[in-house]
Amino acid sequence: MKIELGQHIIEFHVEYGPRKKLSIHIDPSGLMTVKAPNHTSDDVVMSAVKQHGSKIVKQLQAIEAARTAPKVREYQEEGKFLHLGKYHALHELIETNGRTEEELQHDLKKFYFASCKKVIGERIKIYQKQLKVTPKSYIIEESRTKWGSCSSAKHLTFNYRLAMAPIEVIDYVVIHELCHLLHMNHDRSFWRRVGSVMPDYKEKEAFLARYGQAMTL
């Protein structure tokens, strides 16, 4: 099926089955599927998609942005860099006038660290209430191997590059680490707890696995 959302034409597949509620899923490649109860009319499906139109377009744009990430970073005013799932010209993120390339690289990384700390702090406040947990502290660091971690002493660590990801992907990493305050390993209880807050967490995992390499300097 197809639907026009603003200036965008969105194609999606409808999957009918013995379910009670209609839900919308977008995989990391941008394929959108509407899962609907048997005998759901086309009008009801279209209405549901329109209702979530802005969120759908935003998610699809983030996926496309990650897919078309530039391979060479251009540290100049119009160089493109990811921030919260969208590309921005460098001068929209930091001051560029009179700065050398080395200074721009330093300032941009500093911007990401600050942005990540702010956003992570805001999201922790939201989800720690839902999960009824309280971390002792959290820090932002640079890592090539992990997006986040949780120590046995309840200290959380997050990768500064998360500031480049869509907010819902950041939410997944925050939820993941907060759930480790309840379950230190990745057993079934852990994943059930993650899923209770974010049912589509596997899509966020897949997004990081597929597009995480584009989230770099």
Residue 215, in any domain of the structure: yes
DSSP letter, residue 84: T
Task: Count other Cβ atoms within 10 Å, centred on residue 115.
Answer: 18
pLDDT tens-digit readout, 99-143: 898 999 999 999 999 999 999 999 999 999 999 999 999 999 998
Is residue 92 in some structural domain? Answer: no
144 and 205 share one domain: yes
Total domains present in the chain: 2
Strand partners, 155: 137
CATH number at residue 204: 3.30.2010.10
30 is a domain residue:
yes
Residue 76 domain-assigned? Answer: no
Give 71-104 pLDDT, tens digit per residue.
556 777 677 889 998 889 999 999 999 889 899 9
Q: Is 176 left (phi over 0), alpha (psi -120 to 50) or beta?
A: alpha
The residues, ordered by sequence, that sit 6+ positions from 20 with a Cβ below 8 Å of its Cβ are 37
If DSSP codes are grouped into helix, strand and coil, which group holds residue 86? strand
Share of the chain above pLDDT 90, in %: 61
Integer Cα distance of 48 and 46 in angstroms: 5
The total number of residues shown for the chain amounts to 217
Question: What domain range is 192 assigned to?
Answer: 108-217
Which residues are CB-contacts of 128 (< 8 A; sequence separation ≥ 6)? Answer: 134, 135, 178
Residue 90 within a domain? no
Residue 217 in any domain: the answer is yes
Where do we find the tokens 């002493």? 153
Best CA proximity match to 214, nearest among 108, 95, 112, 64? 64
Retrieve residue 114's tokens: 């600050």
Which of the four pLDDT bands, split at 50, 70 and 90, describes residue 210?
Answer: confident
DSSP 68: T
